């Protein structure tokens, strides 16, 4: 078969043959996604430091929630450092679009305490931060999320301040 004839057949089949897009398939559940109290885990970067957290979300209606999370922030290398603390925040977001995706944003205040490796004299630090994110629901009660944002500390060292990138899973009860 010549290349020209093959190209004509291929083009005609792409135009004339009906195609079903993957997005046309309905989700396998009918109940609303991401409702109720939730708990999750996250890993990411906070101003260049590796961060892990356990997060909690208490809904206040369809679009708002109070959030709380534990924080552990590490830097590795010859001068290992570990800070621990927590964050309280407020979150606003959409209802899940097509029962699959939710867009959200929020902010809050945090406190961090050096556990090991901090310079002498550095103590408790307070700061603020914010983020925008997207949740992709794998089932009505489970979502994977990715968020970006920034945070700052009121301390002189600025440890953990800067851009934030987190990913993880959220479980709804």
CATH number of 36-172: 2.40.160.20
Cβ neighbours for 165, distance < 8 A, ≥ 6 positions apart: 44, 45, 146, 147, 148
Mean model confidence pLDDT for the chain: 87
Domain ranges of the chain: 36-172
- Tell me the torsion sign for CA atoms 157, 56, 100, 43: positive
- Quick one: pLDDT at residue 122? 79
- Quick one: pLDDT at residue 44? 96
- Quick one: pLDDT at residue 7? 53
- Quick one: pLDDT at residue 4? 58
DSSP at 24: G
- Quick one: pLDDT at residue 91? 97
- Quick one: pLDDT at residue 29? 87
Question: Which one, of 110, 107, 108, 101, lies nearest residue 145 by Cα?
Answer: 101
- Tell me the torsion sign for CA atoms 101, 105, 109, 111: positive
Buried b (16+ CB within 10 A) or exposed e, 51-89: bbbebbbebeeeeebebebebbbbbeeeeebbbebbbeb
The phi and psi torsions of 124 (rounded to 5 degrees) equal: -65, 135
DSSP string for residues in 36-47? S-EEEEEEEEET
> How far is the C-alpha of 77 from the C-alpha of 72, rounded, in Å?
17
- Quick one: pLDDT at residue 50? 94
Helix (H) or strand (E) holding 9: helix 3-16
Q: Helix, strand or coil for residue 161?
A: coil
Question: Which one, of 149, 45, 141, lies nearest residue 91 by Cα?
Answer: 149
Which residue positions in the chain have pLDDT lower than 70?
1-26, 155-157
Give pLDDT tens digits for 23-60: 556 678 889 999 999 999 999 999 889 999 999 999 99
């Amino acid at each position: 078969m010549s290349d020209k004839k093959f190209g004509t057949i291929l083009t005609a089949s792409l135009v004339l043959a009906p195609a079903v897009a993957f997005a046309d398939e309905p989700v396998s559940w009918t109940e609303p996604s991401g409702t109720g109290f939730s708990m999750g885990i996250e890993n990411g970067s906070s101003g260049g430091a590796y961060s892990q957290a356990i997060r909690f979300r208490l809904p206040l209606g369809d679009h708002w929630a109070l959030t709380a999370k534990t924080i552990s922030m590490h830097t590795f290398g010859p001068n290992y450092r570990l800070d621990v603390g927590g964050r309280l925040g407020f979150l606003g977001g959409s209802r899940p679009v097509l029962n699959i995706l939710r867009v959200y944003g929020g902010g809050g205040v945090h406190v961090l305490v050096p556990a090991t490796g901090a310079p002498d004299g550095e103590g408790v630090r307070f700061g603020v931060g914010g983020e925008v994110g997207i949740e992709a629901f794998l089932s009505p009660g489970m979502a994977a999320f990715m968020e970006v944002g920034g945070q700052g500390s009121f301390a002189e060292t600025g440890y953990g301040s800067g851009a934030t990138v987190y990913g993880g899973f959220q479980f709804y009860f």
